């Protein structure tokens, strides 16, 4: 789906995978991307490294001089991703609480509806952009839900 959307914009997308979850493995993968002339990276959140405080792929992208778009807002705050765009985690946690409350009140989990995220959040990290020498257009800043200055 990402490649289809990119092709509509005449943008080439290539997929690179880190050999493992260690910081050195992310750094090697992003170093190879930088050497290939990649313009930026999209870092999708995964459970495998979300709890791994040493990986920080957004921070590694910054160190390699690569602007990063990450999936969740905390990644822009903690890791130095220039942008974060994904479903709103606070909203998702509230919805999870609603499911738990329903189950504790006796509802069968099988009877509860399956939901897709319907609250999305755009976070812009101007500090990360400045470190990479990037200027974020005012029109994008106006659309952002959160701007980190």
- HEC string for 8-48: HCCCCCCCCCCCCCCHHHHHHHHHHHHHHCCCCEEECCCHH
CATH of span 2-87+119-148: 3.40.50.2300
Mean pLDDT on 33-55: 78
| Confidence class for position 134, pLDDT limits 50, 70, 90 | very high
Q: What is the pTM of this model?
A: 0.82
Tell me the pLDDT band of 51, cut-offs 50, 70 and 90. low
pLDDT of residue 57: 83
Q: Phi first, then psi: what are they for 70, rounded to 5°?
A: -110, 170
CA distance linking residue 123 with residue 76, whole number of Å: 7
Q: What DSSP element (H or E) covers 142?
A: helix 138-143
| 44: confidence class by pLDDT, cuts 50, 70, 90 | confident
Task: List the domain boundaries for the chain.
Answer: 2-87+119-148
């Amino acid at each position: 789906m990402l490649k289809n959307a990119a092709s509509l914009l005449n943008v080439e997308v290539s997929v690179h995978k880190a050999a493992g979850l260690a910081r050195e493995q992310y750094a090697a993968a992003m170093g190879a991307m930088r050497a290939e002339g990649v313009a930026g990276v999209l870092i999708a959140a995964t459970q495998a490294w979300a709890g791994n405080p040493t990986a920080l792929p957004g921070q590694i992208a910054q160190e390699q001089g690569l602007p990063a778009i990450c999936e969740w807002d905390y990644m822009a705050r903690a890791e130095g991703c220039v942008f974060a765009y994904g479903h709103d985690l606070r909203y998702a946690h509230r919805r999870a609480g609603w499911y738990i409350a329903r189950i504790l009140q006796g509802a069968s989990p099988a009877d509860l509806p399956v939901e897709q995220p319907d609250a999305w959040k755009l976070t812009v990290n101007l500090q990360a952009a400045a470190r990479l020498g990037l200027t974020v257009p005012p029109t994008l800043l106006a659309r952002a839900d959160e701007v980190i200055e």
